[in-house]
Amino acid sequence: MAQSSSSLKKSKAKRDHLPAKMPKRPKPVAAKKRAQMPAKPRAKMPAKIAKRPAGPKLARHPGPEPVLHLIKLCVGCTDIADLRAWQKQRRAEAKRRYNIHVTRAFPKRGEELLAGGSLYWVIQGRIRVRQRLIGIGEHVGNRNDEGGIPHCELQLDPRLIEVQARHHRPFQGWRYLEPKDAPPDLGDRSGRGDALPPALEAELRELGLL
């Protein structure tokens, strides 16, 4: 139905009285203050976030050509199995993936030792096994009977690598061992044919036949 002329006049009169643009609602006082405040500079994130160290990384075999080794008497162990069981127990107690050996003297040639060097263990008068050196540092929690004197912590790869048995006279502490003087691994026969059983090889060495 068409609108009457009177209703059209009324609607036109209402449109004429409306403002061209509705006024904006005034901003709250708090919002005005925030707008007037200078913008705070955003904190820059570091390019690389440093991670918490999780102990030394275990060395992989074969490693780089060794520069220098250590040799030490294994006191209290009668064979390799004894050393392996004792070190496994110590790792479980300390909840570590690697073994440590605490000694009083700090090696001054640490960089050379960590360039592929190992700690060779003398068991019952023979060099029998070696462990890769993966770290050297100060031991946290010194021995109770040493009066708080700083000690060195030799960090060792848990893998025991058997070497060709070789006699060695007793000595105290640890000593440097040049690579040319270190016995080869049992698996390294250097083209000498099939490997001999360790017991037979030890007897032949005692007789001076190897």
Question: Quick check: is 89 in a domain?
Answer: yes
Residue 189 has pLDDT above 60, yes or no: no
Overall number of domains in the chain: 1
Residue 49, pLDDT score:
37
Question: Quick check: is 28 in a domain?
Answer: no
Band (172; pLDDT cuts 50, 70, 90):
confident
Question: Quick check: is 154 in a domain?
Answer: yes
Question: Quick check: is 180 in a domain?
Answer: yes
Encode pLDDT of 102-139 as tens digits.
Answer: 988 899 999 999 999 999 999 999 999 999 999 998 88
Encode pLDDT of 42-85 as tens digits.
Answer: 545 445 434 434 455 544 444 557 789 999 999 889 999 999 99
What's the pTM value of the predicted model, to 2 decimals?
0.61
Residue 62, pLDDT score:
47
Range of the domain at 182: 69-187+196-206
Residue 54, pLDDT score:
46
Share of the chain above pLDDT 90, in %: 42
Question: Quick check: is 126 in a domain?
Answer: yes
Residue 199 has pLDDT above 80, yes or no: no
Q: What CA–CA distance (Å, rounded) separates 13 from 16?
A: 5
